[in-house]
């Protein structure tokens, strides 16, 4: 998605809230009860909670987009000693007949003995292609119209306290692909997989995770080492190997201040289709860059964020904020890694305490980069 699209979601939600407070008609009945149930929750902390809100966005390649976002959080067996599980959903359609369905989940079984971590993406949506490598141009080379199916799932068993091991699966299908050059009559060097492909990766994952609330971690460590093999033996069209290393550390500085750090590496060996290269950018890592602005076989990225949850204000205890910075690089081979090729991202954001008893915030982030800016509005922290 375009880096600024989610800002409209935040604007619409804030507008709806302000409207409910100021309009005597809308402040009555279901709408008021719903807003109050979200913002002034008095339910038992162990009770599951559900949130749904409309979304509205605009981008030149999609025209107007209308959709709904949902969040469902719960403790297994309503036992708060279990970790907080969450399911995020987002569905949309556009006036250009594009559509999508996203589902993300992090689920813990009773006693945290099983951990299910995954995501689903079903969409017909344009992608912007800037080329491959750390020196790709600032203006995109082509718009890629395609249908995409992406299903990634980890099924992990706790083998020691906070240490999980299990199988991982990654299925990606890109079909009905058309590269539309940004400039007519300019030859385009088409990448591997430009006609579309279906690739299934099977592998193993080792995860250390002592987080209690994955949407807002105040003290904890998450570290994942994953190995995927995409092989024609199980009908993958491309033969390659992917290794992912993702480590996140959270430490409290004061009762209301947290410093969070993340180091991410994705490394590919073999012939990799362009849509499964290491992609830089997005709403989580390197905010401010379009997802896939830079892509190559390998990526190394790091970020740090200082969170104030909440601010110490006399008139409210539900507002917080954050400042963040990151650096990343894509490169084709380890021999071509260059410390001078890192690009940077930095920014700040505000937080609103949505579910006080479960310590869940919404975030509105503004990021700046060497090439432009971006707004992001989501429930839960970026990482």
Neighbours of 152 (CB within 10 A): 18
- 36: domain range? 6-379
Q: Tell me the pLDDT tens digit for each residue of 200-232.
A: 999 999 999 999 999 999 999 999 999 999 999
The answer to which of 262-276, 288-302, 351-365 has the lowest mean pLDDT is 351-365
Residue 15 maps to a domain: yes
In the structure, what pLDDT confidence band is assigned to residue 55 with cuts at 50, 70 and 90?
confident
Neighbours of 197 (CB within 10 A): 20
Do the Cβ atoms of 262 and 299 come closer than 8 Å? Answer: no
Residue 47 maps to a domain: yes
Residue 18: predicted pLDDT:
42
Residue 1 maps to a domain: no
Q: Tell me the pLDDT tens digit for each residue of 320-344.
A: 999 999 999 999 999 999 988 999 9
Residue 294 maps to a domain: yes
Strand pairing partners for 246? Answer: 224, 264
Residue 31: predicted pLDDT:
56
Q: Tell me the pLDDT tens digit for each residue of 121-145.
A: 999 999 999 999 999 999 999 999 9
Residue 15: predicted pLDDT:
42
Average pLDDT, integer, range 184-198: 92
> Does residue 162 surpass a pLDDT of 80?
yes
Whether this prediction's pTM lies above 0.85 is answered by yes
Could you tell me which residues come within 8 angstroms of residue 56 by beta carbon, excluding any fewer than 6 positions away?
8, 9, 12, 64, 65, 66, 67
In the structure, what pLDDT confidence band is assigned to residue 33 with cuts at 50, 70 and 90?
low
Return the ∠ at Cα 101 (arms to 97 and 106), rounded to 5°: 165
CATH number, domain at 227? Answer: 2.40.160.50
Residue 318 maps to a domain: yes
| HEC per residue, the chain | CCCCCHHHHHHHHHHHHHHHHHCCCCCCHHHHHHHHHHHCCCCCCCCCEEEEEEEEEEECCCEEEEEEEEEEEEEHHHCCCCCEEEEEEEEEEECCCCEEEEEEEEEECHHHCEEEEEEEEEEECCEEECCCCCCCCCCCCEEEEEEEEEEEEEEEEEEECCEEEEEEEEEEEEEEEEEEECCCCCCCCCCCCCCCEEEEEEEEEEEEECCCECCCCCCEEEEEEEEEEECHHHCCCCCEEEEEEEEEEEEEEECCEEEEEEEEEEEEEECCCHHHCEEECCCCCCCCCCCCCEEECEEEEEEEEEEECCCCCCCCCCEEEEEEEEEEEEECCHHHCCHHHCEEEEEEEEEEEEEHHHCEEEEEEEEEECCCEEEEEEECCCC
Residue 225 maps to a domain: yes
Residue 123 maps to a domain: yes
Residue 36: predicted pLDDT:
63
Residue 184: predicted pLDDT:
86
Of 200, 268, 204, 275, whose CA–CA distance to 240 is shortest? 268
Residue 68 maps to a domain: yes
- Give the total number of structural domains in the chain: 1
Residue 64: predicted pLDDT:
87
> Does residue 4 surpass a pLDDT of 70?
no
The answer to which of 17-26, 184-193, 310-319 has the lowest mean pLDDT is 17-26
């Amino acid at each position: 998605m375009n880096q600024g699209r989610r800002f409209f979601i935040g604007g619409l939600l804030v507008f709806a809230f302000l409207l409910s407070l100021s309009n005597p008609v809308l402040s009555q009945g279901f709408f008021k009860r719903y807003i109050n149930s979200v913002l002034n929750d008095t339910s038992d902390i162990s009770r599951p909670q559900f949130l749904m809100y409309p979304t509205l966005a605009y981008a030149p390649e999609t025209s107007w987009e209308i959709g709904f976002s949902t969040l469902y959080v719960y403790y297994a067996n309503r036992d708060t000693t279990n970790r907080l599980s969450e399911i995020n959903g987002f569905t949309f359609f556009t006036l250009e007949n594009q559509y999508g369905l996203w589902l993300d989940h992090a689920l813990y079984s009773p006693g945290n003995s099983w951990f299910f971590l995954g995501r689903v993406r079903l969409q017909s949506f344009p992608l912007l292609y800037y080329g491959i490598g750390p020196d790709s141009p600032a203006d995109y080379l082509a718009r890629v119209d395609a249908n995409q199916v992406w299903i990634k799932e980890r099924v992990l068993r706790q083998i020691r306290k906070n240490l999980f091991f299990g199988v991982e699966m990654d299925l990606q299908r890109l079909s009905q692909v058309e590269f539309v050059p940004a400039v007519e009559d300019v030859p385009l060097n088409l990448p591997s997989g430009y006609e579309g492909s279906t690739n299934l990766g099977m592998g193993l994952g080792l995860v250390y995770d002592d987080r209690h609330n994955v949407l807002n971690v105040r003290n904890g460590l998450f570290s994942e080492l994953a190995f995927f093999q995409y092989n024609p033996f199980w009908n993958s069209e491309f033969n390659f190997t992917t290794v992912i290393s993702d480590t996140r550390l959270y430490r409290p500085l004061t009762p209301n201040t947290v410093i969070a750090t993340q180091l991410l590496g994705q490394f590919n060996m073999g012939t990799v289709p362009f849509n499964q290269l290491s992609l830089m950018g997005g709403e989580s890592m390197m905010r401010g860059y379009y997802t896939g602005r830079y892509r190559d076989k390998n990526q190394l990225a790091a970020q740090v964020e200082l969170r104030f949850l909440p601010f110490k204000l006399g008139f409210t205890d539900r507002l917080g904020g954050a400042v963040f910075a990151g650096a990343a690089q894509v490169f084709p081979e380890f021999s071509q890694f260059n410390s001078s090729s890192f690009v940077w991202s930095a920014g700040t954001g505000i937080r609103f305490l949505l579910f006080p008893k479960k310590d869940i915030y919404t975030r509105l982030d503004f990021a700046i980069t060497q090439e432009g800016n971006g707004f992001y509005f989501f429930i839960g922290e970026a990482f």
